[in-house]
Structure 1
Amino acid sequence: MKLPGCPNAVNQEETKREWGTRAQDITVYLGAHNRAIGDEKLRLKAERVIRHPEYSPRTFINDVALIKVNNKIKFTNGLCSVCLPNENTAIGEGVEATITGWGNTSPYNLMYPTVLMKAVVNIVSQENCSAAYAKSIPPSQICAAAPGKDSCQGDSGGPMVVESDGTWQLIGITSWGRGCANPKYPGVYTNVVMFVPWIQNNSQDCGQQCSN
């Protein structure tokens, strides 16, 4: 979630593992597509990292953080933000969602693409996801899967979005799973709908938050 001069939704473990724990160690690339040629539209430094105070590294519950960047972001035709869903939004089973990232593209070998990849997956019910993992998946997490498609290592913190009336909404943040594209186990994402109040409370000074 790109907010002008304000936080972006990210995954806690990704922040610690790949970006470091200090804001000054983080660079935010906006509008990037091909990592090999550095085609990002805008590059900003992080000013502050806001981690959810009740995040659990054991269960990945509350797996969300915000990054406040050091400058305002001006939206253009080539640089847009995704919108937050309404906190009462219900995402039903089977709904198509799009995931993106530069993560591993093979469940057996480390194959990281230079070009941004995307896949379309379908929402899996809490009941079926809980049954797959043989444990309760809480409402703060949402599951999705499709044959041969999934998030993988390196995609953590990436978006899962749905389109509604021409507007893209951020409904999930890549969090965890068992393997990659394993037909027995859906991918598990932070359910952004449950965190809308927390995100809004921590980004009240941000101005425009959605470029539609």
Structure 2
Amino acid sequence: MIRYAHEIYIHPHWNKSDGTYRNDIAILRLFPPLSIPGGFGLARTCISYTNSKNETINYPSAGSNLVVVGWGSTQYNESYFSDTLHQAGINMIDNNNSICQALIHDVEKQFCAGAYEKGSGKYVDCPCRGDSGGPILQWKGTYWEQVGITSYGGGCHHSDPLSIFTRLTYYFDWIES
């Protein structure tokens, strides 16, 4: 099934050259529209709405179990991307974590996540080259909720491979418009 990006809506305040990756979000309108037949292995996802700035910067909550999905490489030095869709279970990291504070440029628009390996003192399982733009999801018991978009971070080549994600609750109104 082939679909084309009929329209691309880049956030009006996206500015790659400023180095902060704030507003790292775009919406693609596909043509023809994608229909999702049952049993095909695809499903719609939801985006959460928050009522206040405090709710936004604390959603998802620290420690939440998340799943990041992507077609990127599995090691930094790989020069190819995967033919297989990969997923990794990672956790939302508290906004006050010192590594996250060094990476995040805007806590209202971005959040930090990674998987901490008990006993080793290291973060493991993270997005790698080619995963940017992919979803990070949270299971809500009966459905998946997309909480973010892979943006940037230490990645798979770094000793503390925490990653930064665009926080979708901040952009809810823009997405709906």
The 1:112–1:72 alpha-carbon spacing in structure 2 relative to 1, beyond 3 Å, is closer
Superposed counterparts of 1:1-212, under 5 Å:
42-57=1-16, 58-77=19-38, 78=40, 79-88=42-51, 90-128=59-97, 133=102, 136-146=105-115, 147-180=123-156, 182-201=158-177
Amino acid of the residue matched to residue 186 of structure 1?
L
Query: What one-letter code is carried by the residue in structure 1 that aligns with 2:30?
Result: V
Q: Which runs of 4+ in 1 moved over 6 A?
A: none
CA contact (8 A) 2:65 2:90 kept: yes
| In 2, Cα distance between equivalents of 1:163 and 1:48 | 30
Q: How big is the alpha-carbon RMSD for the aligned residues of Structure 1 and Structure 2?
A: 2.0
Cα drift, residue 134 of structure 1 = 6.5
* CA positional deviation for 1:163: 0.7
Kept after mapping to 1: 8 A contact 2:137/2:145: yes
Task: Report the secondary structure of 1:180's partner residue.
Answer: helix
Aligned residues: 160
**Alpha-carbon distance, 1:72 to partner:** 2.6
What runs of 5+ residues in structure 1 fail to find an aligned partner? 1-41, 202-212
- Which stretches in structure 2 are left out of the alignment for 5+ residues? 116-122
Superposed displacement of residue 130, structure 1: 5.6
Answer whether contact 2:95 2:111 (CA < 8 A) is retained. yes
Query: Percent identical across equivalent pairs?
Result: 26
With the length of structure 2 as denominator, give the TM-score of the two structures. 0.81
